[in-house]
Structure 1
Amino acid sequence: MNDSTPVIIAARRTPIGTAGLALKDVDTTGLAAPVLGRLHDDLGHDHTPDQVVLGNCVGAGGNVARVASLAAGFDVGVPALTVDLQCGSGLAAITTAAAFVRSGTADLVLAGGVESASTAPWRMWPPADGAAPQRYSRAPFAPAHIGDPEMGAAADAVAARWGISRERQDAYAVRSHSRAAAARAAGRFDDELVALPRLDRDERVRSTLSATTLGRLPAAFTSGGTVTAGNACGINDGAAAVAVVSEGRRRADGIPGLACVDWETMGVDPNLPGVGPVPAIRKLLRRNAITLDDVGVIEVNEAFAAQVLACCDELALDEERVCVEGGALALGHPWGASGAVLAVRLFSQMVRHDGPELGLAAIAVGGGQGVAMLVRRVG
C-alpha cells in the first residue's frame, strides 16, 4: 500500500427514517448538513475539506452537495459535486472521492449520499394538445425497448429466474430485522449515528417480526409474485458520509482507517438489475487475487431479499455472512445514501470495533448496474 492510497478515517450517518414519518419535513440539506458537520467535528476544525461529493437520486435538482456543504458551514471556497448513479450514488460518490485523493488532486474529501423521499418534489409533464399536465413519476432506468421495469417487478423477475422462494425471502427479511435489533440493543450503531431533532434511531427496525407475520402479506408488485412489503426495503429518508484522505496523511496522523483498496462498476441486463453486484464483485476479487473466503465483512444492500439471495447463490456466498448486523430490509434504503450507509457500516464493524482485515460493500443499481468496493483495515 503506497502513500496515495485513499483511506476512510471517519464515517457518520443519520438515523434512517420511514418516508412520511419522523423525517417527513426534513429536506436533503437538513439531512446531509448535520452529517457533514459532525464529520468535520470528528476530524477537528483545522481540517478543511478540499471537496465535498454527495450522491442523490430524486431531490429537487441543482447541486445538492453544494447547498449542504454551505449549510454545514464550510467556506465558500470549498467546491462540491453531486452525482447520480441511482441507488449506487452514495458509493459512487465515495469512489469518486477516492479517485480524487489517489490522483493527488485533493487531500481531504467528504463524500457520501442523501435522500429525502418525503420531500422530493412532484414533477409534471407539460400539457399537450390541450390535455391536462400529467405527473412525471420517474426517470427511465433504461430504454423501453430493452426493458425498463419498476424495481419491485424486477425483483420478482430475479426471484423467478434464480428460484428464490417466498419462504426463503421472508426468512431472510426476519433475520435482517432480528440482527439489526440485536445490534442496536448492543449499542453497535451508537457511534456512527448523528441524531436529528425528531429521530435518534433507525425508524424501520422491528425487534419482534416473524415469518408467520410476513407470510400473511400479499404480493406487492406482480400478480402471483413473491416480493412483498415485508421482504422489500420500503421507502426511506437519510444521509451518510465518510472522510477520505491519503494513506500518507493517515499514517502521519497515527489514526486507524479503511483503505479503499479497489472498486468496480459493471453492467447487467436492465431487466434483472438486482444481480448487478455479481460481476462487479467477481472482477474485484479476480483483480486482487482473493476469494470471498478472504473477506471478513460483507455488506450488500438489501433492496429486496430476493436480489440479495440471488447474488449469494450466483457467487456461492453463504447468505448468513451478509449484513451480519442487519441491512436495508431492516434499517431502510434511502436510495442516494444507501451506498454510503454500507461504507459507514463497514467502518463501524472493522475500525470502531476492531473487526476483520478485509471488507466488501456492494449495491445494485436500477437500469442494470452494480457497484462494489473492497476495503482493508489499516493502522
Structure 2
Amino acid sequence: MSSASDPVIIAARRTPIGTRGRALAHLRVEELAAPVIQAALEDAEAAHGSPITVADVILGNCMGPGGNPGRISALAAGLGHGVPGATVDRQCGSGLAAVLDAAAAIRAGDRRIRVAGGVESASTAPVRSVDGIAYGRAPFTPAGFEDPEMTRAAEDLAEHDGIPRARQDAHAARSHSRARAAVSAGRFDAELVPLSGLHYDDAIGGAERLLPRLPALFPGGTLTAGTATRIGDGAAALVLGPAGCAPGLAIRASAVFGCDPALPGIGAAGAIQDALHSAGWKLADVHALEIVEAFAAQSLAVLDRIGIAEDDPRLCADGGALALGHPWGASGAIAVVRLFSRLVRAGAPAGTRGVAAASIGGGMGIAAVLEVVR
C-alpha cells in the first residue's frame, strides 16, 4: 500500500554491460560509475527544471577495489568534497540494496536528493590471498555450512528441482531473442551511457543458435556456458527524491530474505513474496518484473516458486542478465533502471506496478515493489 513518505526514483541510467576482459576492461570502478551518475543527475535536473544538490551517493560493489567506491565515484563525478559516499556489499543484490538504503534515509525524514546504484569491474578486481595463497572470492558462509561455487550451486538446483537442459536452453534463447528485439527497436537507447565505443551490452548476440551444441559444464550435468550469464563490467545510477516527486517510480515496499546457502538461487522467490505481502499486492497486480537471471536453472527455480510462467511477457521483456551480462554489484540496480525504462520512459500510466529482484550468494534474496507516479 502507498504511503505519503514513499521515496521516488526520478532518473535512471546505466552503462552498457561489457563482458569481463573485453570493451570496458580498462576502466576502474569510478570510471564506470561517474558518467552514469552525471547522466542521471542531468536527466533529473532537466525533468524538474532546477539544479539538484545531492545529499549522499550509495553504490553497491562486490569484488573491490575497496577504498569506498561510492565516495570515490562521487568525487570522480565532480559532485564536490561536500558530497559523501558509501558502499554496500550484499553480493549480487548490492545495487538494489544501495537503492533501498537511500530510500530508507528519505523515508525516515531526510528529504534531500540521493544517488544510488551499483558498479562492478570484474576485469580490474584485485587478486585476493590468504597466507600468500590466492582465492577467487571470499567465503559466503562460516565453517560448517555449505558454500558452493555459483555454477555448482546452479547445477545442484537444476538437479534438486528437476529442471532439464532443454528448458534451460529455451529460457536462455528467449532472453537473447528479447534483447535483440529491444536493441532493434531502440528500447535501451534512452537509459544507456555509451563508454569506450560500447553502445550496447556486448553479450547480446545469436547465442541461441549455439545453445544445443554447448557441452555441459559438469559431467552428466545440464548447465552450460550458454545457460550461465557472462560476468560483466558495468554501472547503474538512480536519483531518488522524497514523496511528491514525479514522474517516477515510487518504492512501495521491499524485502530481504534468507534461505539455505546450499541452494542460494532460490532467494529471490521468498523476497518477492515478502515484498508483495508488505505492499498488500498480489503477483497478478504486477505489470513488469525484472529478476536477475544469474543462471537459467536459477531463474526457472524462482519462477516456479512464485508461480509465473517462464514465457510470461511481463518478465524481463527486453531480455535479462543471460543476454545482457551480470556485473555483480550493479545488476540489482540495473534491474531497476530497466523497470524505469519499461514503465516511466515508456509512458505507463500512474499506478502501473513493477518488481525488481535478485538471488544472492550465501543464501539470500532481495526485492522491491515499485509503482509509477505521474
**Shorter-chain TM-score: which interval?**
over 0.9
CA apart distance, 1:143: 2.1
CA apart distance, 1:286: 2.1
Task: Report what 1:218 is aligned to.
Answer: 215
8 Å contact from structure 2 (residues 118, 330) kept in 1: yes
Sequence identity of aligned pairs in percent? 52
Once superposed, which parts of structure 1, at least 4 consecutive aligned residues long, lie more than 3 Å away?
none
Deviations 1:293-339 (A, max 9, x none): 11000111000000110111111111122211100000000000000
In the alignment, is residue 16 of structure 1 matched against residue 17 of structure 2?
Answer: yes
Identify unmatched segments of 5+ residues in structure 2. none
Task: Report what 1:28 is aligned to.
Answer: 29
Inter-partner Cα distance in structure 2 for 1:2 and 1:163: 42
Deviations 1:127-163 (A, max 9, x none): xxxxxx2112211111242100000000011111111
Task: Report what 2:256 is aligned to.
Answer: 265
In the alignment, is residue 314 of structure 1 matched against residue 311 of structure 2?
Answer: no
Task: Report what 1:301 is aligned to.
Answer: 292
Inter-partner Cα distance in structure 1 for 2:31 and 2:275: 35
8 Å contact from structure 1 (residues 23, 198) kept in 2: no
Task: Report what 1:82 is aligned to.
Answer: 87
Inter-partner Cα distance in structure 2 for 1:81 and 1:209: 37
In the alignment, is residue 209 of structure 1 matched against residue 203 of structure 2?
Answer: no
Q: Return the match for 2:354 from 336, 341, 359.
A: 359
**3-state secondary structure, aligned to 2:199:** coil
Deviations 1:63-107 (A, max 9, x none): 001000000000211111100000000000000011011112241
CA apart distance, 1:40: 1.8
**3-state secondary structure, aligned to 2:91:** coil
Spell out the pairing of 1:159-308 with structure 2 (5 A cutoff).
159-206=158-205, 208-210=206-208, 213-220=210-217, 222-248=218-244, 250=245, 255-308=246-299
In the alignment, is residue 55 of structure 1 matched against residue 60 of structure 2?
Answer: yes
In the alignment, is residue 105 of structure 1 matched against residue 105 of structure 2?
Answer: no
**3-state secondary structure, aligned to 1:74:** coil
CA apart distance, 1:62: 1.4
CA gap of 1:144–1:355, structure 2 versus 1, over 3 A, is farther
**3-state secondary structure, aligned to 2:240:** strand
Inter-partner Cα distance in structure 1 for 2:266 and 2:291: 11
8 Å contact from structure 1 (residues 178, 209) kept in 2: no
**3-state secondary structure, aligned to 1:118:** coil
Inter-partner Cα distance in structure 2 for 1:62 and 1:134: 23
Over the aligned positions, Cα root-mean-square deviation in angstroms equals 1.2
Inter-partner Cα distance in structure 2 for 1:337 and 1:308: 18
In the alignment, is residue 70 of structure 1 matched against residue 65 of structure 2?
Answer: no
Task: Report what 2:321 is aligned to.
Answer: 328
Spell out the pairing of 1:115-154 with structure 2 (5 A cutoff).
115-126=120-131, 133-154=132-153
Deviation larger for 358-367 or 102-111: 102-111
Amino acid corresponding to residue 222 of structure 2 in structure 1: T
**3-state secondary structure, aligned to 1:33:** helix
Q: How many residues align?
A: 365
TM-score, structure 1 as length reference: 0.94
Inter-partner Cα distance in structure 1 for 2:276 and 2:39: 34
Q: Return the match for 1:371 from 350, 366, 372.
A: 366
Amino acid corresponding to residue 10 of structure 1 in structure 2: A
CA apart distance, 1:59: 1.5
Amino acid corresponding to residue 370 of structure 2 in structure 1: V
8 Å contact from structure 2 (residues 94, 329) kept in 1: yes
Amino acid corresponding to residue 349 of structure 1 in structure 2: R
Inter-partner Cα distance in structure 2 for 1:358 and 1:101: 21
8 Å contact from structure 1 (residues 268, 275) kept in 2: yes
Deviation larger for 168-177 or 351-360: 351-360
8 Å contact from structure 2 (residues 3, 252) kept in 1: no
In the alignment, is residue 349 of structure 1 matched against residue 316 of structure 2?
Answer: no
Inter-partner Cα distance in structure 2 for 1:350 and 1:205: 22
Task: Report what 1:6 is aligned to.
Answer: 7
8 Å contact from structure 1 (residues 55, 82) kept in 2: yes
**3-state secondary structure, aligned to 1:147:** coil
